[in-house]
């Protein structure tokens, strides 16, 4: 194993708590427009910002003028500047006209008190390579820095050859542009778990370096998953968040499966490193996305499943990226995002870990800064089941703790020996045991 590269630490302060925001993918696939982005940003500023939500992220192919859904049009021409860098399609992002890129949109979002994020694909446009266009800051041209490797599910880019002179210069030129646009968050795709080539760790490192050099503290998010566990250290040493799973959608088996992934990754959570359970497919989704085996719909998760998802994501401290059209939120959906007692678990919990997994019952726990103990109980089975957490298992003395149901925001009284709930199928309970005394 030669060359795992640099494990950096400075970037960890860019995401001191797990990022929270909105991303256009679950609604609009590759086709979101400026107006839709702004609409969701304004909703966030009004309804969610006080609860900690801040990132507004434009997902894949903002440079593809003909994008209509989540289905990519293979091999089509893309909008590109004179330095082999993709730029926003003006028909979709009118404010970018005149070569202004995403700067005007970012300005508006910053003006709302929010942060602006974009998605990019690892690599250099194939059209640049075949046309052999220039790269800013180097005499090398596109053909010379391209690698003969591809993304298996999108035909926009070739990889960048990390051994080529000019390769780092290319990535530096990209992030210099994004810094000019005042981007705050970059989600890089086809990099953490290529289906063809495992992880592209050297391109991760080039991107880390490019961000460090660009002078703007952008949060770095890596996709897709499942990122390989054996690179956990490298991921923490270069990124703020990385996907533990392939794309997550609103079907129960994927949600149930996430528990096993969290059991593997929980030791990596914390200090600016956030293994990522992926987006929250809640509310109104699929407006133009046709992924996940469905189209325009309300989330297919039942209310119980929605609460279970939110409970796991919050306790595990996954990033929270809402996938629905925010402006169509109903009260229930909004309530899942604005429960301050639950969000405190996400923001302040420490040392989250599984307490046990026994068949379809599982319990997770973390510590509150005030000496309290968070306990999340889950019934992953298809029938109602009693799920319990004994105080002794938690290392707590009997009869010493008051319990509170955080979703219901009500007291459960003093706990004698343990917590014990009959939970509905796919159901959960999130409890705080108060500090002793």
The footprint of a second copy (CB under 8 A) covers 1-10, 74-76, 126-127, 129-130, 132, 143, 146, 148-150, 152-155, 196, 229-234, 236-237, 259-260, 263-264, 266-268, 353-360, 393, 395
Q: For residue 435, what is the DSSP state?
A: P
Burial 97-131 (b: 16+ CB within 10 A, else e): eeebbbbbbbebbeebebbbbbbbbbbbbbbbbee
Structure tokens at 335: 């309530």
Of 205, 179, 23, 9, residue with least CA distance to 101: 179
CB of 152 to a second copy, least distance (A): 7
Report the residue number, 75 or 437, with the smaller CB distance to a second copy.
75
By the 10 Å C-beta count (0-12 exposed, 13-18 middle, 19+ buried), 90 is classed as: middle
CB of 268 to a second copy, least distance (A): 5
Q: How many residues make up the chain in this entry?
A: 437
Report the residue number, 115 or 245, with the smaller CB distance to a second copy.
245
Report the residue number, 268 or 407, with the smaller CB distance to a second copy.
268
Phi, psi of 158 (to 5 degrees): -100, 155
CB of 266 to a second copy, least distance (A): 6
CB of 224 to a second copy, least distance (A): 16
CB of 241 to a second copy, least distance (A): 15
Report the residue number, 83 or 265, with the smaller CB distance to a second copy.
265
Q: How far apart are CA 322 and CA 344, in angstroms?
A: 18
Report the residue number, 92 or 208, with the smaller CB distance to a second copy.
208
Q: Which residue has the tokens 């370096």?
A: 209
Report the residue number, 233 or 399, with the smaller CB distance to a second copy.
233
Structure tokens at 316: 């595990």
Q: How far apart are CA 61 and CA 73, in angstroms?
A: 10
* Angle, helix 103-111 to helix 34-43, in steps of 10 degrees: 20
Of 410, 420, 341, 334, residue with least CA distance to 374: 341
Report the residue number, 234 or 282, with the smaller CB distance to a second copy.
234
CB of 358 to a second copy, least distance (A): 6
CB of 156 to a second copy, least distance (A): 10
């Amino acid at each position: 194993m030669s060359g795992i590269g640099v494990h950096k630490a400075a970037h960890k302060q860019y995401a001191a708590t797990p990022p929270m925001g909105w991303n256009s993918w679950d609604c609009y696939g590759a086709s979101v427009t400026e107006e839709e982005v702004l609409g969701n940003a304004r909703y966030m500023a009004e309804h969610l910002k006080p609860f900690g939500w801040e990132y507004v992220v434009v997902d894949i192919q903002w440079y593809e003028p003909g994008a209509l859904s989540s289905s990519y049009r293979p091999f089509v021409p893309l909008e590109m500047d004179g330095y082999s860098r993709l730029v926003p399609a003006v028909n979709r992002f009118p404010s970018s006209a005149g070569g202004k890129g995403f700067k005007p949109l970012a300005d508006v979002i910053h003006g709302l008190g929010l942060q602006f994020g974009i998605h990019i694909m690892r690599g250099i446009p194939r059209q640049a390579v075949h046309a052999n266009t220039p790269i800013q800051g180097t005499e090398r041209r596109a053909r010379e820095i391209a690698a003969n490797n591809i993304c298996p599910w999108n035909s926009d880019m070739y990889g960048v050859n990390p051994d080529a002179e000019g390769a780092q210069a290319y990535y530096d030129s990209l992030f210099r542009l994004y810094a000019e646009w005042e981007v705050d968050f970059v989600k890089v795709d086809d990099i953490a778990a290529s289906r063809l080539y495992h992880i592209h760790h050297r391109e991760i490192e080039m991107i880390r370096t490019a961000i460090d050099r660009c002078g703007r503290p952008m949060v770095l998010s890596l996709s897709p998953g499942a990122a390989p566990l054996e690179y956990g250290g490298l991921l923490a040493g270069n990124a703020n968040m990385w996907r533990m799973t392939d794309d997550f959608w609103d079907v129960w088996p994927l949600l149930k499966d996430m528990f096993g992934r969290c059991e593997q990754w929980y030791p990596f959570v914390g200090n600016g490193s956030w293994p990522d359970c992926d987006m929250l497919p809640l509310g109104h989704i699929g407006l133009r996305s046709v992924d996940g085996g469905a189209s325009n719909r309300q989330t297919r998760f039942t209310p119980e499943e929605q609460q279970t998802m939110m409970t796991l994501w919050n306790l595990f401290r996954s990033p929270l990226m809402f996938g629905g059209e925010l402006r169509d939120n109903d009260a229930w959906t909004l309530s899942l995002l604005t429960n301050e007692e639950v969000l405190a678990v996400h923001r302040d919990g420490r040392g989250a870990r599984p307490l046990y997994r026994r068949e379809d019952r599982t319990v997770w726990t973390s510590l509150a800064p005030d000496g309290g103990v968070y306990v999340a109980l889950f019934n992953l089975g298809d029938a109602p089941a009693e799920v319990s957490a004994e105080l002794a298992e938690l290392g707590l003395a009997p009869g010493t703790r008051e319990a509170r149901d955080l979703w219901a925001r009500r007291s459960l009284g003093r706990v004698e020996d343990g917590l014990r709930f009959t939970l509905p199928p796919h159901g959960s309970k999130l409890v705080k045991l108060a500090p002793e005394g």
